[in-house]
Amino acid sequence: MNNLIKESLTKLKQKNINNPELDLRILLKHASKKNNEIILSNPNLDNIDIVKFKSYIRKRIKRQSIAKIINNKSFWKYDFYINDFVLDPRPETELIIEEVLNIYRNKNLKLKILDIGTGSGCIAISLAKEFKNASITAIDISQEALEVAEKNLKIHNCGNQIQLKLIDFKNINSKFDLIVSNPPYLTNDQFNKTDPEVKNFEPKLALVGGHDGLKFYREYSNNLKNLMNKTAYFVCEIGINQRQDCEEIFQNSGLYLNKIVNDLQGIERILSFSKI
């Protein structure tokens, strides 16, 4: 094995990184001028930008995520631009899209959708691609996150369907057919126990939902109903063990729980509510 590769692998292993070989292959591919796959056991490093590669390894050793190093993460059917101002899109969040597709079988519907806390825009853009006639308002309170979303909107050519707005949810006052959100829902304690990739590189603003993690669900429940058309749905992501509390919070505000979707680990992860 080439020395540079061997040394890099050892460094990654010393930092307890889960899949060091896989990470190494991805970073090599990204440092390759021809973007080709590199075989670790018999690498051809002719096309590798060594300076770039070494800087990637330094970042990974500091436990920045691969997605944030290469500024890219796949979500649903697309690749998204990602940086430190947004969460890396998580696979479990794709279940929001799946659930919406379950609810609305007719993809030609002219749905009016609100995405609260859009971040990279991955949910809004994926929905825009599935529902070509939908018009989506994607909001966030982080200007930096909206700049990331704007970039993704351009990459995916969705500017005509999605309107980005720097606004707090509380100041929205129109009606929608569908509201989606992956709000911050960790407790401070949970946040402190997350992996360094999350704790040190992801915006805390997008992760922590007050002392018990439920702050945003409570805030939403105060005026969500007023933003929903009669037949509207609200689909959101929740944290571990939050199903019962969230169910209660939204039912007290007059919404009905329709469905609980478990993620691949069997954790209750997505809730869908309706008005009638």
For ligand GLN, the closer CB: 113 or 238: 238
For ligand GLN, the closer CB: 214 or 255: 214
- What is the nearest approach in angstroms of ligand GLN to the Cβ of residue 150? 21
* Helix residue spans in 85-160 (DSSP H): 94-103, 122-130, 143-155
Q: At what angle do helices 20-31 and 3-14 cross, to 10 degrees?
A: 130
Residue numbers of the site for ligand GLN (CB under 6 A)?
90, 182, 184-186, 194, 198, 207, 237
- What is the nearest approach in angstroms of ligand GLN to the Cβ of residue 90? 5
For ligand GLN, the closer CB: 124 or 186: 186
The token pair at 265 is 């680990």
Cβ partners under 8 Å of residue 131, min gap 6: 104, 107, 108, 109, 111, 113
127 CB burial (10 A radius; 0-12, 13-18, 19+): buried
In angstroms, how far apart are the furthest CA atoms of the chain?
65
For ligand GLN, the closer CB: 201 or 233: 201
- What is the nearest approach in angstroms of ligand GLN to the Cβ of residue 16? 18
**Whether the Cβ atoms of residue 242 and residue 182 lie closer than 8 Å to each other:** no
Q: Are strands 135-140 and 112-116 parallel, antiparallel or unpaired?
A: parallel
For ligand GLN, the closer CB: 162 or 214: 214
**Whether the Cβ atoms of residue 60 and residue 52 lie closer than 8 Å to each other:** no
- What is the nearest approach in angstroms of ligand GLN to the Cβ of residue 145? 13
- What is the nearest approach in angstroms of ligand GLN to the Cβ of residue 182? 5
For ligand GLN, the closer CB: 177 or 197: 197
- What is the nearest approach in angstroms of ligand GLN to the Cβ of residue 213? 8
